[in-house]
Structure 1
Amino acid sequence: MDAERPRGEGADILDERSRDRIQSIERGVEVLRAFNSRQGPLSVADIAARVDLARPVVRRILLTFAHLGYAESAGGLWSLTPRILELGSGYFASSSLPEISYGYMVDLVERTGETCSIGVLDGMDVIHVARVEDRRPLPDSVRIGNRLPAHATAIGKVLLARLSDAELDALLANAPLEVHTPATVTDAERLRARLADVRANQYDISMEELHPGQVAAAVPIVIDGRAVGGLAVSSTTVRETEESLRDVIIPVLFATAADIASAYRNANPQLFRAGAR
């Protein structure tokens, strides 16, 4: 999300024309999102409970996806097929942030010996859109497409810090700050103070705020004052300390984020023309 710009015109149009939304498509998307977990195949009852729809409605949606080749059923359990990847292929085009960032992320992993991720903000969640693992995989490893709580992650906090006060207030008014570890910031005022420091320093270091024993450092990827994503290195308390993250990892993150921002801007000049939104 953009820290400086107001709420997007597109969102206003959608609100004004809510009568034009197609409910069946909204329900279909909700059924697809029900599969966004580490669990295996799901029953119709499982999905109906997750999306709060009647079982017959869920069954018809699944049968439609099966007809299109995006879902399949075995033994009464449903799963998505590899064809579902077609729906996200446009995002990973040659000029996309993940595609452009990949080479820089590989270099970052080689230089630091740690896992690297890029995430974007979606409400009070971070969606991971790119990741390069070190040879030593982390426990609770994050996959592309996974959502993590912004208030408990380094990427999340550097992106929340780019928001205006009004945008942040709106998010905090509607999202509980859940506890993940004893170090998680769950008080809204404490989080605002933390984000003020992040805004001043332009980086965040998260020490065991999401998972015990795991740490991360992150910086925003900024183009023309707009944060297009956050870049992070993740590790464990066995390998990194707060001091090593600040003194060794953060400078490399800043340099890499600048390289990614330059490459992404050059590949997408239409997105960053003077006055463009």
Structure 2
Amino acid sequence: MSDATSAAATAISESGPIARELSDGVLRLTLNRPERRNSLSEEMMAGLQDALDAAAEDTAVRVILLRAEGNVFCAGHDLKEMTAARSHSDRGRVYFTEVMNRCARLMQTIVTHPKPVIAEVDGMATAAGLQLVASCDLAIASDRARFCTPGVNIGLFCSTPMVALSRNVSRKQAMEMLLTGEIIDASTAREFGLVNRVVPADYLAQVTAKYAETIASKSPLTLKIGKEAFYAQAEMSLADAYRHCAQVMVENMLARDAEEGIGAFIEKRTPEWTGE
């Protein structure tokens, strides 16, 4: 983070599994358990879910930047926590079901969130950690970032990470990662379409901040409308997608922010967004 950004930032919380910092419309959510490889433990998932839910209702938040402390972005599920549940009478079935449903809800919250979510990846993202990256709207990685779905190596196919992965990369590339469990570097992740850009580690925070600040300068209503329409049309046939998006465009044109934005463009001035 730049000195200017740091000085202008408002720390919301520095302790707990998720550190929060809000600055100029950009909410930085930091996975804050490096000693546990930022694994998606019950505590971590609950903290991230709470932070995302709160951000959805906070008009001061325009963009969310998801990052992590330490050299591991996220190591996936907490396998020690999950293994402990095998001692239950049902061998962990109820617990495993609850954890997977909680994780699925978290990932869907990111996709359906009214604010754009950007992953800032500096380190290893594995299994559900890769799923977390793939669920974000944008992902910027440092040149030392690494990615893999290694479940196949321990007898546990990465079936839920597969959902997000297969919606970002081609089927052949997704299956390559899922079947081999091998690590890919940041440049390969970019070739596959898993991340948007790869930058030197020293410039990662600066580049992601620039992306976040640029997006935060747009109309929050327009961003919400556009993100929602993007994911909705992606699941439709071509004809249905055009019908849906045509109606979205009509409603968007009737919004005050669209009227203001078009007027500002014609009058060669900076628009003033109201979010209406």
TM-score, normalised with respect to structure 2: 0.29
Higher relative contact order (CA 8 A, sep 6+): 1
Identify, as 1 or 2, the structure richer in helix: 2
